[in-house]
Structure 1
Amino acid sequence: MTTPSDRAADVTQRAGPVIAGYEIGNAGLAALGLAADQAAAHHTGLRVLVTRRIPVWTSHLAMGVCPPAAFEDGEPAASLAREAAAQLRHDHPGTDVTLYGTGRSLPQALRRAAPAASMLVTGRDTAGPGATARLAGRAGCPVVSVPGETTAPDAPVLLVGGDAPGDEAEFAMVEAAARGVPVLACDLGPANGGFADAVVQAADRHPAVEVRHQGRGGLDRAPAGLAVVRAPARRRDAGWQLLIGLLRDAPYPVAAVPGHR
């Protein structure tokens, strides 16, 4: 029988690299920085995917990923991605950073890469949050959306839910413990929804993490360094609008974590 602690271990200790999508812009660089930090913290590798034009002679690879040799050209995205990867290797010398090109859109490429990943990281697209929400619902691993803004390293982890949290509560506790910060627990559900009890159970497994209450209003202004929510499986799920709102308005990274499997 699978226990809550077994499920928690599955989402927080899943094998595989952190896989990040890179696009030109501040959000893309911020996403790579967070992805590299996560890879280093969890002692795994970092794989960077960047969209690029595929030469005609490699058209049979156009819908897959291309090895680093495919980047020996002058495309701006490829050149900047190489520079970013070199900086990540310098900043995280113990982390294996590999660079791959793809002819797919980044959400498509990340979705295909998800089965091999411990986490997916992407830059924030406030104009099209639906693509990230759909990716989170299908990935089967945590998906982190990173804005271009920088958050304080000592900012709390915000745990938001409308019912009893599952794997996302454990994910939030692990992130808070690694950062040495408290968890802000925001219960959006009914009084008997079990959120408080589930948070207490997760906190019992991490006694060093302080848990504080966060009010329902003004989540986009909460002093958070990371928000953690359950990934909605489909658009009609209650958590869909919550995730869309955070992806559109929140100035901090948002991690969508799959529920119990």
Structure 2
Amino acid sequence: MTLLLRQGSGQAYAEVIGDPIAQSKSPKIHNFWLGKLGIEAEYRACHVRPAELADYLAARRADPDWRGCNVTMPHKQAVMPLLGRIEAPADTIGAVNTILPGVKTGLSGTNTDASGFLEPLESVLAETHYFRMARIIGTGGAARAIITALAGHGFTLVVAGRDPAKARALLDELAPKGEHHAIHLSHFADPTTFAFDDREECCDLVINASSLGMQGQPALAFDWSHAPPGSIAYDIVTAPLDTAFLQGAQDRGFRTIDGLSMLIGQAAAAFEMFFGQRAPRQHDAELRAILAS
């Protein structure tokens, strides 16, 4: 199939690329902000298959109207060798989710997933804890950003995946300091009678950084007896928004953070790079209602 290419339209635009891409909520987010700010530009989705990446980037680099793109599955790592420059923190994370045009360096790649993930945790991370632990489910591109972000905030990490060797390799690469642990995904599926100690002044996160629980994907088997008292449950899945994982956490009285939090946070950082203005975050409630409908 031939890529839908456009050049010289006279209107600035950015987009998101992936395979598949129809499920992406990014166009709704960015076009909502563009409308609120009265910016004459647009943001759209472009279906790019793996074999089409090089041609896509060559075409967009030659288009003066193109302001860049976000990158979603499965291109976050595959796109890196095709770029002229990898900016921080993408160089540390080892994955790119935002590509920008450049006059001298050509295309550059960066990553806003880590900052987007941390945004709803800012008040928690500002507190002093004598111990921080995060249980992270998943070993994909999003997990790479999350591992990197939390390792930088002093968390002991437990990464669970279908392949514990891959989880171990991620920890060795992204968080070589600290006593982190890699386990099989099934570890969290069955109940545990482990007696957690007094968790006051501790910070415990339980994060679904995988596609498990997403519409069309297998369910995530997680028994909440594995979560210490006072844990925060965080699911990056956005469809459905109220996942079974989060419902289970709510039933146990845990605080929950849904996938829109990270999605909107990472999009805001990219929006400013694309269009030169800060996203109007005072309208977040209205935006979330649109995205959840």
TM-score (norm 2): 0.33
Greater radius of gyration (CA) = 2
Return the structure number with greater relative CO, CA threshold 8 A, min gap 6. 1
Higher helix share: 1
